[in-house]
Amino acid sequence: MEQHGGEHMLAGAIWEKLGGTTIGLHLGQTDSSIDVSMPDERTHLTEEEILMLENTVNARIRMDAPIRCWFPDEEELKRLPLRKAPTVTEHVRIVAMGDFEMVACGGTHPASTGRIGLLKIISTIPAKGKIRISFVCGGRAVSLFQTYMRYADKAGAALSSPVEKLSAAAAELKYRLSEAEKRANRLETREILAKMEENGEDLKGITLCVLTMPETDSRAVTAAVSDYIGTKGRAALLCAGERLTFARSADVKIDMNELIKRVARGGGRPDMASGAGIPECVSVAKKILMTEGTGL
């Protein structure tokens, strides 16, 4: 009854204040929704409109206006200012809530608007050219408020921030994290590159770097490898954790895409390929290069 009563109040307010026609209704286990068709066919409401609707409905709930249901005769029915035309022609049952909602409805309603308690709009999303407005009323609205407050308080404690400054604190934290990640990535790239420079060995006229290392950020590996093969006459066979990266300079003839496919699962371009494998894959690939040469 609380949810259904609230649906009437919300549909009435949207009709009166914004000219929106409620064409669909869903009363769910946790929240409910109405589909509203707007006169200008828009599919969203502004924050101000949502606030205005909530304030309008909640003020009317607090008025505790009587809710009345009756079967008017044909003459009376014609004169009633209904929100929309009834879908049936006989035994039309009308519900009126104060003087702000009047429509045909066969449902069960509370005795007065005060019994709806509270209405809170949860979301407004576009739905097939209409606006789907989800809401909760009464006990469900109170319970939702309690849940949100609990999460907001916990988030506030975790970020050492008052609840009203939470979004700014979260945005700042996200920015600092992203900057720290970039810095860490640059350091990691430099470290991998230094190891690669130390590990180069001569193989039939090219410098081949064969390196295995623990699991490392793949972006740092790719950046280091790209940097390494920027110098002519180089090739690299890397295994970081379970990720393989095979690459070579533009002037080297080895087809890394083909080579990686011969030793592991993976692929890519002739100059740089990646895949999943173990350190032995790198050793096997090196042996292939040693026996078959670098003119693959």
Q: Summarize as ranges the residues that interact with Zn ion (CB under 5 A).
A: 105, 107
Cβ at position 71, least distance to Zn ion in Å: 14
Q: Give the residue with the Cβ less far from Zn ion, 80 or 284.
A: 80
Compare residues 93 and 286 and give the one whose CB is closer to Zn ion. 93
Of 105 and 259, the one with the shorter C-beta distance to Zn ion is 105
Q: How far is the CB of 52 from Zn ion (least distance, A)?
A: 23
Comparison of 107 and 156: residue with beta carbon closer to Zn ion: 107
The residues, any chain, with a CB within 8 Å of residue 224's CB and separated by 6 or more, are 189, 190, 192, 193, 196
**Nearest distance, CB of residue 150 and Zn ion, angstroms:** 33
The angle subtended at Cα 110 by Cα 105 and Cα 113, nearest 5°, is 100
Kindly state the smallest distance separating residue 109's Cβ from Zn ion, in Å.
Answer: 5
> Would residue 98 be called left, alpha or beta, if left means φ above 0 and alpha means ψ between -120 and 50 degrees?
left
Closer CB to Zn ion, 91 or 128, in the complex: 91
- Please list the alpha-helical segments (H only) found in the chain: 2-18, 47-62, 74-79, 138-158, 166-198, 218-228, 256-263, 279-292
3-state secondary structure of 166: helix
Tell me the helix, strand and coil percentages in the chain, rounded to 5: 45, 25, 30
Angle in degrees, CA 211, 186, 174, rounded to 5: 130
Residue nearest Zn ion, CB atom distance = 105
Nearer to Zn ion, 105 or 133 (CB): 105
Q: What is each CA distance from 41 to 8, 21, 291, in whole angstroms?
A: 21, 11, 71
Shortest Å distance, C-beta 129 to Zn ion:
25
Residue 96 or 209 with smaller CB distance to Zn ion: 96
Quote the CA–CA distance of 17 and 60 in Å, as a whole number: 14
Closest contact distance (angstroms) between CB of 63 and Zn ion is 19
Least distance to Zn ion from the beta carbon of 72, Å?
16
Backbone angles phi, psi at 161, to 5 degrees: -140, 145
